[in-house]
Amino acid sequence: MRIGELAERSGLSRDTIRFYERNGLVRSVPGSSATNNYRDYPEDNLVWLRFITGAREAGLSIADLRDITAAISCDMDRTEARQVLAAKIDELKARADEIRRAIDFLERARDQTAGSAEG
């Protein structure tokens, strides 16, 4: 599909998709037409962009996602790929821990800010 359709269906803007592509997060192939240089974005980009979007919300950087894309696209040998993925998984787990701590802190603070029906 062309970029406009991908944008429409992924909910991202054309510009964001192009930005991701420039940074190695999205892959496309030359389109079939000889009269233009429109690119073709394979269907699986839809699933992929859903992951990317979630991963961005999870706090992974563009650089992180470039590495992950390379690892999953077999741009590197299996050993390296697994190392990259393991490293990002660890990063995410560390972030999850920070979040748990922050939630704890905030819940305690909220509970100390007693309700309006307090004595």
4 binds, among a copy of itself, DNA, none (CB under 5 to 8 A by kind): DNA
39 binds, among DNA, a copy of itself, none (CB under 5 to 8 A by kind): DNA
Element containing residue 30 per DSSP (H, E):
strand 29-30
Indicate the residue among 5 and 82 with the shorter CB distance to DNA: 5
Q: Which residues pair with 30 in a beta bridge?
A: 39
Q: From CA 85, how far away is CA 20, in angstroms rounded? A: 19
H helical segments located in 23-77: 45-57, 62-72
Indicate the residue among 6 and 60 with the shorter CB distance to a copy of itself: 60
Draw the binding track, 18-37, toward DNA (x: CB under 7 A; -: no contact): xxx-------x--x-x-xxx
